[in-house]
Amino acid sequence: MHDAGQINREEKRVVKTLFEWRSRSWYGMTQILPYLYLGGLRDANDVEQLKEKQITHVVSIHELSGRVGGTLKDLNILRIHMADLPEANINEHFAETATFIHRARLAKSK
């Protein structure tokens, strides 16, 4: 039989670990290159995070309608309407996306 105090400590440890994993996995964009970040829809709408990282350009790929970037008026957005499915043909958007990112780099933007 287990001691109640031991279970309580173990539960606290597990909850703490899960919370840390969740915040690391589900929130916050990842810097890929000095000028390139990868994140989810939540990140694209997180005005504070966009400002903090001085992000001015966003490639938004999803099948939802609506604006990303919250209330940022100076945000340049390339919207690609596409379902997140294995059979989605993302290749057809590579040239357009590469051009958009390259232009942002030339403008010394992120």
Residue-wise pLDDT tens for the chain (110 aa)? 555 566 688 788 877 777 665 555 556 888 999 889 998 888 888 888 899 999 999 998 988 866 666 666 778 989 999 988 899 999 999 999 999 999 999 988 76
| pTM given for the model | 0.67
The domains located in the chain, with CATH, are: 30-106 (3.90.190.10)
SS (H, E, C) the chain: CCCHHHHHHHHHHHHHHHHHHHHHHHCCCEEEECCEEECCHHHHCCHHHHHHCCCCEEEEEECCCCCCCCCCCCCEEEEEECCCCCCCCHHHHHHHHHHHHHHHHHCCCC
